[in-house]
Every structure is written in structure tokens, then in C-alpha cells.
């Protein structure tokens, strides 16, 4: 009887930590596989050519390559960063940085690399705690490659 109470107590405590935690946590591989599924929901989303998770300078990075249509460049950039922010908040260990490579569908334009601070980007897109002008000045950098 005493062992049953102990087992029941341990089970309740373990379930309580899950309830208090709030949301499920996923591995890096699971998060990387969620991104294409997120994009598949919207037929206007850009085409994904590569998804990676890696460490760089002891920081955890979520990397995404997309093909962009120059007529919808800014919308596609924001859609991709928003998707990265939405999905990455479920990672078991938080990401430090997002890297987005935007490959144009025309040779006239340069490929661009966007680096965004993950926490700030999640605060902007998911929680709406950061204003647009602050996010664009402090949280992201864009360079031609």
C-alpha cells in the first residue's frame, strides 16, 4: 500500500511539472521538421530550400534558406522570420540566433543573409513586446552575399 502511494505521488508530481511548464518541448530535429509543415499551411509562403540547426560560437542557430520573389521580398522575409519565431519557442533549449538566406528567383538580384536575435524576434512576432522600429534597428542585420 505504501509503495502504491509513493508511486502515485511521484506520478502526480511528474505530471504537475508538465502542467506548470505550459507547453511541450521538442528536440532540435523536431523543430527543424516543423518548419516545412508550418510553411505548407500557406500557399503564398516562400519555397524552403534548406533547414538546419547548428552551433556557432557556442550559440544555437536555426538556419533557413528560402527562394524569394522580389515582388514580395519584405513579406516573405517577415513570414519566414515569423515562422521561425513561432516554431522555435517550442524547442527544449532556446535558440540564440536565426539565420535566413534569401535566394532570389532572378539573377539580377543578390542573395541576402538576414541574422536575427532569436529572443528579440520571438518577442516581436509572437508576444508583440517589441516595436517594429526597435526590432529592425537592434534585432536584425541584413547583408548581401
Q: What is the pLDDT of residue 106?
A: 80
CATH for the 24-144 domain, from 3.90.550, 3.30.70, 1.10.10, 3.30.300: 3.30.300
What is the rounded distance in angstroms from the CA atom of residue 25 to the CA atom of residue 21?
Answer: 9
pLDDT digits (tens, 9 = 90+) for 33-59: 999 999 998 888 899 999 999 999 999
**Cα 49–Cα 71–Cα 67 angle in degrees, nearest 5:** 5
Q: What is the DSSP string of 2-26?
A: HHHHHHHHHHHHHHHHHHHH-S--B
Residue 69: pLDDT band (50, 70, 90) is: confident
pLDDT-above-90 percentage for the chain: 55
Rounded to the nearest integer, the mean pLDDT of the chain is 86
More confident residue, 32 or 71: 32
What is the rounded distance in angstroms from the CA atom of residue 18 to the CA atom of residue 128?
Answer: 26
pLDDT digits (tens, 9 = 90+) for 73-99: 778 999 999 999 999 988 999 999 999
Amino acid at each position: 500500500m505504501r509503495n502504491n502511494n509513493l508511486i502515485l505521488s511521484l506520478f502526480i508530481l511528474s505530471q504537475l511539472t508538465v502542467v506548470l511548464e505550459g507547453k511541450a518541448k521538442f528536440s532540435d530535429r523536431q523543430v527543424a521538421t516543423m518548419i516545412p509543415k508550418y510553411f505548407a499551411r500557406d500557399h503564398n509562403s516562400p519555397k524552403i530550400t534548406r533547414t538546419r540547426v547548428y552551433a556557432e560560437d557556442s550559440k544555437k542557430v536555426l538556419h533557413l534558406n528560402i527562394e524569394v520573389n522580389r515582388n514580395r521580398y519584405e513579406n516573405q522575409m517577415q513570414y519566414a522570420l515569423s515562422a521561425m519565431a513561432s516554431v522555435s519557442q517550442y524547442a527544449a533549449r532556446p535558440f540564440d540566433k536565426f539565420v535566413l538566406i534569401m535566394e532570389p528567383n532572378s539573377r539580377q538580384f543578390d542573395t541576402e543573409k538576414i541574422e536575427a536575435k532569436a529572443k528579440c524576434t520571438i518577442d516581436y512576432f509572437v508576444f508583440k513586446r517589441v516595436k517594429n522600429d526597435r526590432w529592425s534597428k537592434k534585432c536584425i542585420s541584413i547583408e548581401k552575399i
